[in-house]
Amino acid sequence: MQEVILEDLGSVDYQVAWDYQTVIHQNIKECKISAIRAKQPYLAEHRLLLCEHNPVYTLGKSAKIEHLLASQAELEKNGVQSFKINRGGDITYHGPGQLTAYPIFDLDFFFHDVHKYVRLLEEIVIRVLARYNLLGKRLEGFTGVWIEDENGQRKLCAIGVHLSRWVTMHGLALNVNTDLKYFNNIIPCGIKEVGKTVSSISNELKVPVDMNELKEIFAEEFKNAFQIAYKKKELT
């Protein structure tokens, strides 16, 4: 069973979290390469980072700039940042009330299947939503987790990952108590289809959600899905 360091960064600027991810990601890769060259045993120090970001739009490798509907001046006026980053996918929003999870894992110790990895992240969110009596589901052709009923299809979780030498970074963003007005300034994940919108757990339940409780539930379901043990667990 693989051991994982679980770390809660709390509320943090996107750049700070991205830089921190990058350092951990690079360290794991360097240790791995050194061990292979020296023909020595190697144990990866897998890590799971949880956080909430200050308002920011991130544009993945396949993002189209026209999917950002606000000008740079408007973003600055409203205190919203934007970054072009190296994960897959289009444009999305991160902000307060949203749980962002960054697994930095060496998949050499799990499986060599990116599709399986993304599906497993979706499964974790589906299990978390079930704990709140919400039926999360996948939609064919769309990455992430959705709610679907007579009122349409609403995306609650976006997923975008990056892998190098089978070491992962970036991850998922689950709307919990998120202020959904920020999604009005983008075409979320490039999805333009009529009837597909964005929602949050609190919006679906019509009550605020305790973020600390949700983090505990998420950490538990993540552990069960990946069949890991937490070497160190720090939740704020």
Rg (CA), the chain: 18
Backbone angles phi, psi at 10, to 5 degrees: 70, -145
Among the listed residues 230, 203, 202, the one whose alpha carbon sits nearest the alpha carbon of residue 216: 230
**Could you confirm whether 189 is annotated as catalytic?**
yes
Helix/strand/coil for 99: strand
Instruction: Give the whole-angstrom CA distance, residue 232 versus residue 149.
Output: 40
Instruction: Give the whole-angstrom CA distance, residue 228 versus residue 82.
Output: 34
DSSP string over 133-161: T---EEETTEEEEEEEETTEEEEEEEEEE
Strand partners, 234: 7
Task: Indicate the pairing of strand 167-175 with strand 56-59.
Answer: unpaired
The residues carrying an active-site annotation are 189
